[in-house]
Amino acid sequence: MAKLLVVDDDKNIRRVLSTFLESCGHEVRQVPDAASALAALSKEPDIALVLTDYRMAEMNGLELLEQIRQQHPDTLVILMTAYATVESAVAIIKAGAYDYLTKPFSLDRVRQAVERALEVGNLRVENRALRDVVHDLPLTESRSSAMQAVLRTARQAAQSDATVILLGESGAGKNVLARQIHEWSPRRDRPFVVVNCTTLSDQLLESELFGHVRGAFTGAIKNKPGRLEAAAGGTVFLDEIADLSPTLQTKLLRFLQERQFERVGGDETIEIDARIIAASNRDLEREVAAGHFREDLFYRLNVISLRVPALRERPEDIRPLVEHFLTAAALRNRRQELRFSPEAMDALCAYQWPGNIRELRNAIERAVVLNRSDVIPREGLPDRVFQTPSPARARAPSGGTLEDLEREHIRRVLAEAVTLEEAAETLGISTTTLWRKRKRYSIE
């Protein structure tokens, strides 16, 4: 159970509360005033919850609450008062207390308030741990010399405002690297805005990117700023930029040249400062040669080009990535002390991972959810991990284009999946994006 602190200048109330809370299994400290409470918290910072009287000499409960929030922000506070009004209750909650108790109170009400507060506290701790794991991006360190070279160049590029284009297969981590470039840059305190160029129709994507004015089209009932305006001073990440229509390519080219644009249906010229990072899983030079992508836009984007290696090209990174994703998945699913058996780990490291990091993450999430033992066995992994690679999958990267590899991987996942939604989840994309890719690659 938890460690609690009871603060009240009434000795009898301290004794009754302490005895009751100890009977509930908690470890309880009790002090008569705010100064003693702050001293106790400094001595024992693992105190999870403070129950304090509102009216005390020298420093009242609200003042104590303010000090606790400044010095011990993770400690929750419940205020006890005999003079509760709607106004005082609102003031107590606004000041940051988790809850308040009106004297005289029943011990059952105390128990309920304490249990709820501790549950919230535990969730905060779990969320913070999960956030720390998730924010410890798995691409920022690598054992692969090829990936290390990419990271070195990315760090250098981050210090400039130069446009960066990231190339590589779907799921290789281009979006993660784009965010990391922003975090390494002087723009880190400004917005990082993501625009997925595959998920919306041309009209909606144009509105999403550049904004629109009232009446620009059916449903445009008010002026709406676009993602470029939202990213002012920061970074815009254009994912799968090869899917932009010719019209949007022209408008984007103008923005890259002049840093100006107009909202859809508007005539006011808007000028903003935002850095562009783009990404594509297709060979843009081939797209240019085929007439699908503007040559002048390609050269505007291609200031600094980085190719993110596929996971099979850096097998030395698989084991640390497995450990990273296992920790994150265990936290999300409230599992502790999870690990893969040696046989399972060997299978994970031997697999080609055509879906790259995204496929690896999804496979580990599935294993954590479906296996209840603390050691995940080889049998707890998806069946595809044990399948013999097809010739297309086993080829070296130079044996086929990125499009060939993606087409083959999507076809294989669709063949194995029961529904389109299941296939999209396995691939780590939306069903809309999967539908577009099926149409592009003529996959039935």
239 plus 323 within the same structural domain: no
90 plus 163 within the same structural domain: no
98 plus 179 within the same structural domain: no
pLDDT value for 84? 63
Does 139 map to a domain? no
Q: What is the DSSP string of 357-387?
A: HHHHHHHHHHHHHH--SSEE-GGGS-GGGGS
Domain ranges, residue 432: 312-441
Does 361 map to a domain? yes
- Domain C-terminal end among 307, 323, 345: 307
Nearest CA to 281 out of 169, 128, 183, 368 is that of 169
pLDDT value for 391? 45
pLDDT value for 33? 93
Q: What's the number of domains the chain is made of?
A: 3
Token pair for 444: 């039935």
- Domain C-terminal end among 77, 109, 134: 134
303 plus 177 within the same structural domain: yes
155 plus 272 within the same structural domain: yes
Identify the band that residue 86 occupies on the pLDDT scale cut at 50, 70 and 90: low
Percent of the chain with pLDDT over 90: 53
The CATH number assigned to the domain holding 49 equals: 3.40.50.2300
> Would the pLDDT of 394 be above 50?
no
196 plus 322 within the same structural domain: no
156 plus 298 within the same structural domain: yes
pLDDT value for 136? 46
Q: Are strands 3-7 and 27-31 parallel, antiparallel or unpaired?
A: parallel
Side-chain half-sphere of 370: how many Cα atoms within 13 Å? 12
> Would the pLDDT of 42 be above 60?
yes
Q: What is the pLDDT of residues 106-164, one digit of tens each?
A: 999 999 999 988 888 777 765 655 555 454 445 577 889 999 999 999 999 999 999 99
262 plus 330 within the same structural domain: no
Identify the band that residue 251 occupies on the pLDDT scale cut at 50, 70 and 90: very high
61 plus 186 within the same structural domain: no
3-state SS, residue 200: coil
The CATH number assigned to the domain holding 380 equals: 1.10.8.60
pLDDT value for 39? 93
Does 27 map to a domain? yes
161 plus 207 within the same structural domain: yes
pLDDT value for 388? 61
Identify the band that residue 91 occupies on the pLDDT scale cut at 50, 70 and 90: confident
Identify the band that residue 68 occupies on the pLDDT scale cut at 50, 70 and 90: very high
| Helix, strand, coil % in the chain, rounded to nearest 5 | 50, 15, 35
Report pTM.
0.62
pLDDT value for 409? 83
What sign results for the dihedral spanned by CA atoms 384, 388, 391, 394?
positive
111 plus 150 within the same structural domain: no
Does 393 map to a domain? yes
pLDDT value for 389? 55
> Would the pLDDT of 29 be above 80?
yes
Does 140 map to a domain? no
Tell me the average pLDDT across 306-335.
90
433 plus 376 within the same structural domain: yes
